[in-house]
């Protein structure tokens, strides 16, 4: 993954994004790319941390979650929970496992790993138009 910046798109600045990824380096790269794009980013390493973050702050505009997560819920279950409780929040699910493509049913977008950070930022930008 390579860093990507969209500073030339001020209309997308200020989006609030929650990134849920248990792999520290992957989460850090995603968060950095989104911050470079002008987004406010909250990071969580598990669905449990994400639930706490959702309770503690204003609802994000976009949730990005991996499917395989430690804790009581996986990313698909987290996405389904968000769909029930915060239906206006946009959801992007990511996974490196082909079997996880059923996550498409609870998400606005699915990205198979490995993906380019440019692709992820573009997907956030696209969904942000619907926020």
Evaluate whether residue 68 is within a structural domain. yes
102-108-9-114 Cα dihedral, nearest 10 degrees? 0
Do the domain assignments include residue 66?
A: yes
Binned at pLDDT 50, 70 and 90, residue 98 comes out as low
In a domain, 8, yes or no: no
pLDDT at 128: 83
Residue 120 maps to a domain: no
pLDDT at 14: 80
When divided into structural domains, the chain yields a total of 1
Whether residue 5 is predicted with pLDDT greater than 80 in this model: the reply is no
This prediction has a pTM of 0.87
Dihedral sign computed on CA atoms, order 110, 113, 114, 120: positive
| Residues 131, 122: Cα–Cα separation, whole Å | 15
Range of the domain at 93: 38-115
We report the CATH number of the domain holding residue 98 as 3.40.50.2300
Of 110, 45, 124, whose CA–CA distance to 76 is shortest?
110
> Is residue 52 in some structural domain?
yes
Residue range 57-83: mean pLDDT, rounded? 93
- Asked if residue 99 belongs to a domain, the reply is yes
pLDDT digits (tens, 9 = 90+) for 15-57: 999 999 999 999 999 999 999 999 999 999 999 999 999 998 8
CB 74 within 8 A of CB 45: no
Q: Say which residues have a Cβ less than 8 Å from residue 8's Cβ, sequence separation at least 6.
A: none
Is position 130 within any domain? no
Give strand pairing partners of 41.
17
Tell me if 44 is assigned to some domain.
yes
Q: For residue 52, how many other CB atoms are within 10 A of its CB?
A: 12
* CA-based nearest residue to 4, from 95, 104, 94, 125: 125
């Amino acid at each position: 993954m390579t860093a990507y910046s969209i500073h030339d798109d001020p209309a997308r600045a200020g989006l609030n994004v929650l990134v849920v990824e248990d792999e520290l380096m992957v989460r850090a790269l995603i968060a950095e790319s989104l911050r470079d794009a002008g987004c406010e980013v909250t990071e969580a390493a598990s669905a449990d941390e994400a639930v706490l973050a959702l309770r503690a702050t204003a609802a994000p505009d976009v949730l990005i979650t991996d499917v395989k997560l430690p804790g009581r819920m996986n990313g698909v279950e987290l996405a389904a929970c968000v769909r029930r409780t915060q239906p206006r929040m946009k959801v992007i699910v990511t996974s490196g496992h082909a079997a996880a493509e059923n996550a498409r049913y609870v998400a606005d977008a699915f990205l198979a790993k490995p993906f380019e950070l440019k692709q992820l930022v573009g997907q956030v930008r696209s969904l942000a138009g619907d926020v």
